[in-house]
Amino acid sequence: AERQLLRNGETLPLTPKAFDVLAALVERGGHLVEKDELLKSVWADSFVEEANVPRIVHTLRKVLGEDENGNKFIETVAKKGYRFVAEVDEIREQAAQKSTNGNHHSAAEKLPETIVTEKLSAAEFQLLPSAKVETVAPLVKEQKHTTRFTLIAVGCLSAVFLIFLVSFNRQSESSLNPNEPKSIAVLPLKSLTAENRDSIYELGVADSLILKLSPVKGLIVRQLSATRQYADVAQDAIAAGREQKVDYILASNYQIAAGRIRITSQLFNVQSGLVEEVFTEEQDKSNGFAVQDAVAANIGQKLLKKLNREPNNLAAKRYMPNEEAYRLYLDGMNLTDKQNIKEARKAAELFEQAVKLDPNYALGYAGLAYAHCTIATHGGNPLEEYPKAMNAVQRALALDENLAEAHSNLGQVQHTYEWKHTEAEKSHRRAIELNPNSSFAHRTYAFHLLDMGRFDEAIAEMKLAIDLDPNSSWNQRSLGTVLYFARRYDEAIVQLKRVVEMDANHLRTYYWLSFSFEQKGDDAQAFEWFLRGETQRGKIAEELNAWKTVYDESGWQGVLQRQLEMSKEKEKKGEVKSAAVVRLSAQLGDTEQAFVYLEKSYQKRELLMIMLLIDPQLDSLRSDPRFDEMVKRVGLK
């Protein structure tokens, strides 16, 4: 089976699942394919999160690029799914034809069923699926773009034999310069048998290896939050390595039989695509954490020797004597990383269960603090959530004072709630010192620097976070936000539009784009992105038309006025923050009302208070002595 995407005869890299998604979209060219359909057809035999779909579509867009008119090949249909919008041509030709001398005319004719095209332009592709493809989409004649895709269904006349070629690079370990930094991603393990899958091994062993490798000098290690997305058993290791932009990838599988577990790990050189070393480990599986520790110690040691790196004796402490607590922790982190209040509340419940099962579980308390901080910053009550977060952080640090995650969360509470900004910076820097490979630690520190008006440092720190987790839409969106507050609006717009392509479902991105255009004085674009955000929120046509009428009659100022009236009503009911009224009042020139609600925001300890130095929507208030006094009250001056 070919399963290749070709452009002018050149193979373009696609993971197996990305290929399947592209094939499904091309098959239905010109028609909406809903996310649920893609999940059911591409991941029929496994449970995966819906977030996998936009991630893969983003990858496809990067691979396919744009046509000669700058158009994309895949269109996002908000809250529904995707549509392949390029023109698809199918040309079938029987390959049994022979020349007069009895030979096949070409390699293409040797296949039982081939779609042939005489000429491919620079923007044309061939998609070579497996022999399982029996039907293809009808020709779509009315499409938005004119780029032609040729879909080639390749059948096989004889049985298909799989040949695994493992190329070992026998260079000596000493040939790797120990002073030259190298990067590596450790993928979740893959079970060789579907019935024996267990997160204790698949994520736990990977997490243990990451923990072992992270403190090593000269080795940049992707964290589990970056690599857990590759838990799909069909994941291509080299493709994952390219997405993560690392030098090496460690891909492992495991098999359980007769009470024992056997793990085989392959170290791939991402640039060459070759396997440089194979490591094996076999353990009694009676204790999942004993397996994790043994694998981390044995395979980790061999791996460091291969990479010519000296192990760090200050390896991170292990926290996990209870397997169920660890499973709850993994699920809680996955939910909190989605960065919305609904999922964060669920995560807090899971973390509570974890620490109830294991009261000495420091990482569980750190996760609980993370969940409460997330709830507070996404619409929850700061006066309720931050004290809970601080209590959890203190419990975590009492159990393990060297836990980087706890120090990051401590810094966030100190800065955002207690307004102890100097202490907060120390906490953030300590977190990075303990785990310099933590994208989370660099990101939270970047926001601290941003709020303090240290824009260049904040941008540099956010870019470090992206380097450590390049596929995180959260990191990419955060960079756009930092650029906005740094008043680099053109750069912010480019970055935020890129984020929309990565994840079209995140509401805040649309509003940050609206704010960016607003600050540039482009009211039309500001309104367009505001309207897109409202559409993404699920507003009905009647509501959207009402906004259009306001804009047509009163312009952008009319839109702001209507937002202000609605926000004041919702603020009374506790549905929106007082900060919303502050910003809108300031923009509309109602200074007195802005200061009334600014005091309310102060009393509620809303997020706005730490953004006083940087928020451009507050510029009309800065000349008022009351504003300077408020800045002093929250410790920013």
Quote helix, strand, coil % in the chain, to nearest 5: 55, 15, 35
Using the structure block, give the residue that is written with the tokens 């750069």.
Answer: 491
Indicate whether 168 pLDDT > 80: no
25 membership: H or E segment, kind and range: helix 16-27
Read off the pLDDT of each residue in 152-171 and give the average, rounded to a whole number. Answer: 35
- Per residue in 260-308, pLDDT (tens digit) is 888 889 999 999 888 888 988 888 876 767 777 787 888 888 888 888 8
Binning pLDDT at 50, 70 and 90, where does residue 173 land? very low
Nearest alpha-carbon partner for 497 in 458, 467, 529, 463: 529
Q: Which CATH architecture has domain 173-306?
A: 3-Layer(aba) Sandwich (3.40)
pLDDT at position 479 is: 96
pLDDT at position 14 is: 75
Binning pLDDT at 50, 70 and 90, where does residue 348 land? very high
C-beta of residue 385 within 8 angstroms of C-beta of residue 373: yes
Binning pLDDT at 50, 70 and 90, where does residue 100 land? very low
Across 46-60, 137-151, 183-197, 609-623, least confident range:
137-151
Kindly report the number of other CB atoms within 10 A of residue 521's CB atom: 10
3: left (phi over 0), alpha (psi -120 to 50) or beta: left
HEC string of 33-46? EEHHHHHHHHCCCC
Query: Reduced to 3 states, what is the DSSP secondary structure of residue 475?
Result: helix
CA 301 and chain centroid, separation = 30
Q: Token digits for 239?
A: 């493709």
pLDDT at position 507 is: 86
pLDDT at position 9 is: 66
| Cα–Cα distance for residue pair 268/104, rounded to 1 Å | 39
Share of the chain above pLDDT 70, in %: 80
Indicate whether 633 pLDDT > 60: yes
Residues 6+ apart with CB under 8 A from 338: 51, 344
C-beta of residue 231 within 8 angstroms of C-beta of residue 334: no
| Cα–Cα distance for residue pair 194/558, rounded to 1 Å | 58
Task: Provide the mean pLDDT of the chain.
Answer: 82
C-beta of residue 429 within 8 angstroms of C-beta of residue 415: no
Q: Are strands 81-84 and 74-77 parallel, antiparallel or unpaired?
A: antiparallel
Binning pLDDT at 50, 70 and 90, where does residue 87 land? confident
HEC string of 544-568? HHHHHHHHHHHHHHHHHHHHHHHHH
Instruction: Domain 323-539: give its CATH superfamily.
Output: Tetratricopeptide repeat domain (1.25.40.10)
pLDDT at position 587 is: 97
**4-151: which CATH topology?**
Arc Repressor Mutant, subunit A (1.10.10)
Read off the pLDDT of each residue in 316-331 and give the average, rounded to a whole number. Answer: 75
| Cα–Cα distance for residue pair 438/225, rounded to 1 Å | 9
Residues 6+ apart with CB under 8 A from 603: none
Question: For the chain, what is the total number of helices (H) and then of strands (E)?
Answer: 24, 16
pLDDT at position 195 is: 67
| Cα–Cα distance for residue pair 486/468, rounded to 1 Å | 22
Burial tier of 625 (Cβ tally within 10 Å: 0-12, 13-18, 19+): exposed
Q: Give the pTM.
A: 0.69
Nearest alpha-carbon partner for 351 in 342, 340, 362, 341: 362
C-beta of residue 560 within 8 angstroms of C-beta of residue 523: no
- Per residue in 381-402, pLDDT (tens digit) is 999 999 999 999 999 999 999 9
Kindly report the number of other CB atoms within 10 A of residue 489's CB atom: 19
C-beta of residue 227 within 8 angstroms of C-beta of residue 246: no
Q: Is the dihedral of CA 496, 247, 16, 123 positive or negative?
A: positive
pLDDT at position 125 is: 62
- Per residue in 522-552, pLDDT (tens digit) is 999 999 999 999 999 899 999 999 999 999 9
Indicate whether 12 pLDDT > 80: no
Read off the pLDDT of each residue in 144-156 and give the average, rounded to a whole number. Answer: 41
| Cα–Cα distance for residue pair 244/259, rounded to 1 Å | 35
Read off the pLDDT of each residue in 439-457 and give the average, rounded to a whole number. Answer: 97
pLDDT at position 139 is: 36
Share of the chain above pLDDT 90, in %: 47
Read off the pLDDT of each residue in 477-500 and give the average, rounded to a whole number. Answer: 96
Binning pLDDT at 50, 70 and 90, where does residue 635 land? very high
| Cα–Cα distance for residue pair 25/31, rounded to 1 Å | 8
pLDDT at position 312 is: 62
Across 156-160, 223-227, 328-332, 483-487, least confident range:
156-160
Q: Which of 46-60, 107-121, 476-490 has the highest mean pLDDT?
A: 476-490
Q: Which residue has the higher pLDDT, 70 or 267?
A: 267
| Cα–Cα distance for residue pair 234/251, rounded to 1 Å | 12
144 membership: H or E segment, kind and range: none
Q: Rg for the chain (alpha carbons), in Å?
A: 27
Q: Which of 26-35, 207-216, 417-426 has the highest mean pLDDT?
A: 417-426
Q: Which residue has the higher pLDDT, 309 or 386?
A: 386
Read off the pLDDT of each residue in 587-607 and give the average, rounded to a whole number. Answer: 97
| Cα–Cα distance for residue pair 109/116, rounded to 1 Å | 9
